[in-house]
Amino acid sequence: MKKDITSKETIKAITYDIATYILKLKMSKDFEFVDKEIQTIEKREADIVALCKIDDIESILHIEIQNSNDNTMNTRMLRYYVDIKTRYSKMPIYQYVIYIGKPKLSMKNHIKDIQLDFKYNIIDMHKIDCEEFIKLDNPDALVLSILCDFKGKDELDVLVFLTSRLDELIKDDEHRLGKYMLILETLSENRNLKETLKEAEMLLRDIKFENLPSYEIGMERGMERGMERGMERGIFQGREDGISQGKIDTAIMMINDYNLPKKEVADKLDISLELLLEHLKR
């Protein structure tokens, strides 16, 4: 995936949902990621390699998400297969490439030679209508629908609907809503829809600032900084510094990431506009 995912919980949710809704696999919810770095001649890093149960059988699930055609993809997948099989020789390996690029899919899903017949699965998301997932009307399917084909629908209209529907479904659980918004933002980068998603979020001003991933991330960063500064002055002072710094970090991220008005952000987070402007200049 193009963007790092900030927590194992988030990437686990994405992996399970992809397996369930896109790959149609009966995968156990209890699974673990194995080392993603698979190194032989050159350093390569797989997107997702999970040790799990599929149809109640211990297996390896390997997923690559591609937003462009790669004419060496079949060779890459064979190398991954050999490396994984070397470590997990007795387990079946399920390999998938999920293609989300705009150009027509042109990658091969096999290699056939005199003594070799290798094949893996390619899922072309152009062939999956986003309506299929939207109709399921649950948060997991809604966030994955951003990877599907919009079938000519306006991108902004689709993202406004997805964002507003997520808010309607789980507005009573702000932490859970924040998690799904983070997944949506992560997947939007893979589809080159990050800026469109920001615009959609701007149009939905009724969504609370606290539900945006930038809010939680900014507060966590600020708390870490404040606790470090406050170690010599006592834990309580460190916590106060952390909250203050967290608000400033959050404000800066909201302004930079979502282009929100500076005064509105300052008022919402209860910080001085002058102080915010001073930090923005640094």
Residue pair 112/97 in contact by the 8 Å Cβ criterion: no
d(Cα 88, Cα 76) in Å, to the nearest integer? 18
Residues 6+ apart with CB under 8 A from 244: 222, 226, 271
- Give the helix ranges, DSSP H, for the chain: 8-17, 73-87, 130-134, 139-144, 155-170, 174-190, 194-203, 213-230, 235-258, 262-269, 273-281
Residue pair 133/148 in contact by the 8 Å Cβ criterion: yes
Q: Which CATH architecture has domain 1-127?
A: 3-Layer(aba) Sandwich (3.40)
Q: What is the pLDDT of residue 67?
A: 85
| Cross-strand bridge partners of residue 98 | 65, 123
99: left (phi over 0), alpha (psi -120 to 50) or beta: beta
Q: What is the pLDDT of residue 110?
A: 95
Where in the sequence of the chain do the CATH 3.40.1350 domains occur?
Answer: 1-127
Cα dist from 133 to 27, 30, 66, 129, 186, whole Å? 19, 24, 20, 8, 18
pLDDT in tens, the chain (282 residues): 444 444 456 677 788 889 999 999 999 988 888 865 555 444 556 688 999 999 999 999 999 988 889 999 999 999 999 999 999 999 999 999 999 888 889 999 999 999 999 999 999 988 898 888 988 889 889 999 998 888 888 898 889 889 888 888 887 787 788 788 888 888 888 788 888 888 887 776 655 555 555 555 444 444 444 444 444 444 444 445 555 666 677 677 666 665 566 777 777 667 788 887 887 777
Q: What is the pLDDT of residue 230?
A: 45
Q: What is the pLDDT of residue 274?
A: 82
The encoded tokens of residue 102 equal 């705009």
Q: What is the pLDDT of residue 246?
A: 65
